[in-house]
Chains A and B, each alone.
Chain A
Amino acid sequence: MMRSHAERALPTLVIVGLLLAWELGVRAAGIPAYTLPTPSLIAQTLWLNAASLGHSWWVTLQITLGALALACAGGVLLAGVFALSPLTERALMPVAVVLQVTPIVAVAPLILIYVDSTHAALLLCAWIVAFFPILSNTVIGLRAADPQLRELFKLYRATPWQRLALLRVPAALPYFLAGLRISGGLSLIGAVTAEMVAGAAGRETGLASRILEASFRTETPKMFAALALLVATGVIIFWITGALSRRLLGPWHASESAAPH
């Protein structure tokens, strides 16, 4: 019990230790705040700019979660179509791969030209980055059902719908959730990358715009403050998708139970 408490506290202790080393190191070396601010100054800046940073955070969060939701819907839907029709998969998978391998920073300017609404353009960019892991994982998952279980369903003359609902979907769930955990982080990366390309202009802009803005003015503490919010957001998304995965797979799946695989 003691050991498990210590193990749990370990990551927190490491982070607190690193922040403390940072704080003391910067103070001891007398590094100016515009080069490297101390964590305490970053926290202070975050507090003083809470309104503007909070607003930008909300904009970025909306794009991130919107893109993630669309990635889930699009990825799962497309995976379903691919699973039912291998021909469609052969026809469309290359397109999905092309979308996946194209660096988003490079396409984002084009998307911003073609799509009138900046919000929609940002959403599209983040979606392109986020949807592929969900798609490819779910496609594999829908095919991952134990062949003998499939034969059992055949023997009992299951309808295609029963096969999907009772066999293929449950078998695909661990794969989908693994994809979701990757896509959660990617949708944030996609959103911020697209914002960076879109630039600082406009009122309804996200945290990337605050970072750019602060960089033009050499407000390094504010850059770090915005960055801290982004990191926190990423970590929270990672936690939530992880908790969801444990909640849904906990009792039965090897990856989420104590027993080794």
Chain B
Amino acid sequence: MADASAPLIQLQDVSKRFASGTAALAGVSLQVSAGQFVALLGPSGCGKSTVLRLAAGLEQASTGQVDAPALRADATQPTAFVFQDPTLMPWATVFDNVWLPLRLQGVPRQQAAPAVQQVLTRVGLADFAQAWPAQLSGGMKMRVSMARALVTRPRVLLMDEPFAALDDITRQALNSDLLAWWAAEPMAALFVTHSVAEAVFLSQRVLVMAARPGRVVAELAIDEPYPRQPAFRHSPAFAQACLQLGQALAAAHAGEGAPA
């Protein structure tokens, strides 16, 4: 095993050019260590999803080095990915959807049942194991999606604006729940968002990205007690961090960049 402080996810001067010729990323470097929660913040089209997909092995870098557990042949450190849409199988019950990652590893239903039930309990859906996705609200579907991600007890959690389509109240509740799940089993988390407040609330470190080509233009550590409590949203430190990030984001959006 690698030592705990070594980064789990590492991008070194990575660029990505799609077949269409679009330069999605240019010279992106970042590191996420075990048990670190990092947010990628940026406007739409800045390539933050591409960074996530590189770390998941769903895309290949054009140049530069990418190292992440998902790219290694041995799957001793499982990676979980949460999409913006819940991405559930509509033909399968909640139980079967959450069972999927284990099922694909060859774990039979009976043997997977305790883990599935446990993770469903953790996301507050213990009573919905036999429900169909079509019967659930948007927030509940997202909880199922989270449960499916957590069921393998991942070491790496990659999230692509998972709560962007939800209303604010549901979103804040899920933010707090996410931190509770993280506290129970700390993972290296990379969280893509375009919401400043969400990035500040959730993460220990925020990377601000700019578009065309996608690059990291600012980095801000948020040194506040972690995992955060809901009251943090009303503290001066929260407002201060939001202000700072908002300015960095505005500068990035204006195309001027910001001192890193």
Instruction: Determine, out of A54-62, A81-89, A192-200, A246-254, the stretch whose residues face the partner at the interface.
Output: A246-254
A157 at the interface (CB under 8 A from B): yes
Q: A149-B89, A259-B134 are in contact. Are A155 and B83 (CB under 8 A)?
A: no
Q: A251-B132, A254-B134 are in contact. Are A162 and B85 (CB under 8 A)?
A: no
Please name the residue on chain B nearest to A257 by beta carbon. Answer: B134
Q: A170-B91, A252-B132, A253-B90 are in contact. Are A157 and B85 (CB under 8 A)?
A: no
Determine the distance from Cα of A252 to Cα of B141 in the docked complex, in whole angstroms: 14
B95 → chain A closest CB, angstroms: 13
Q: Find out whether the CB atom of B79 lies under 8 angstroms from the CB atom of A155.
A: yes
Q: Find out whether the CB atom of A155 lies under 8 angstroms from the CB atom of B81.
A: yes
Q: Find out whether the CB atom of A152 lies under 8 angstroms from the CB atom of B134.
A: no
Q: Find out whether the CB atom of B104 lies under 8 angstroms from the CB atom of A158.
A: yes
B206 → chain A closest CB, angstroms: 25
Interface residue count on the B side (C-beta < 8 Å): 22
A154 at the interface (CB under 8 A from B): yes
Q: Find out whether the CB atom of A252 lies under 8 angstroms from the CB atom of B90.
A: yes
Q: Find out whether the CB atom of A155 lies under 8 angstroms from the CB atom of B57.
A: yes
Interface residue count on the A side (C-beta < 8 Å): 23
Q: A151-B58, A152-B81, A155-B70 are in contact. Are A170 and B134 (CB under 8 A)?
A: no
A194 → chain B closest CB, angstroms: 37
Determine the distance from Cα of A258 to Cα of B132 in the docked complex, in whole angstroms: 14
Q: Find out whether the CB atom of B87 lies under 8 angstroms from the CB atom of A149.
A: yes
Most buried by B among A152, A158, A166, A171: A152
A238 at the interface (CB under 8 A from B): no
Please name the residue on chain B nearest to A158 by beta carbon. Answer: B104
A149 → chain B closest CB, angstroms: 6
Residues of chain A within 8 A (CB-CB) of B56 are 151, 155
Residues of chain A within 8 A (CB-CB) of B81 are 151-152, 155
Q: Mark A165-205, 1 if CB is under 8 A from B, else 0.
A: 01100110100000000000000000000000000000000
B257 at the interface (CB under 8 A from A): no
A156 at the interface (CB under 8 A from B): yes
B237 → chain A closest CB, angstroms: 36
B184 at the interface (CB under 8 A from A): no
Determine the distance from Cα of A156 to Cα of B89 in the docked complex, in whole angstroms: 15
Give residues 71-120 of B contacting A (CB, 8 Å).
75, 79, 81, 83, 85, 87, 89-92, 100-101, 103-105
Determine the distance from Cα of A77 to Cα of B83 in the docked complex, in whole angstroms: 33
Determine the distance from Cα of A57 to Cα of B87 in the docked complex, in whole angstroms: 49
B47 at the interface (CB under 8 A from A): no
A148 at the interface (CB under 8 A from B): yes
Residues of chain B within 8 A (CB-CB) of A152 are 81, 83, 87, 100
Q: Find out whether the CB atom of A148 lies under 8 angstroms from the CB atom of B104.
A: no
Q: List 22 A-B contacts (CB under 8 A).
A: A146-B87, A148-B85, A149-B87, A149-B89, A151-B56, A152-B81, A155-B56, A155-B58, A155-B70, A155-B79, A156-B100, A156-B101, A156-B105, A157-B75, A166-B89, A166-B103, A170-B89, A252-B90, A253-B90, A253-B91, A254-B134, A257-B134
Interface residues of B (CB under 8 A from A): 56-58, 70, 75, 79, 81, 83, 85, 87, 89-92, 100-101, 103-105, 132-134
Q: Which 5 A-B pairs have the closest CB atoms?
A: A170-B91, A156-B104, A148-B87, A158-B104, A252-B90
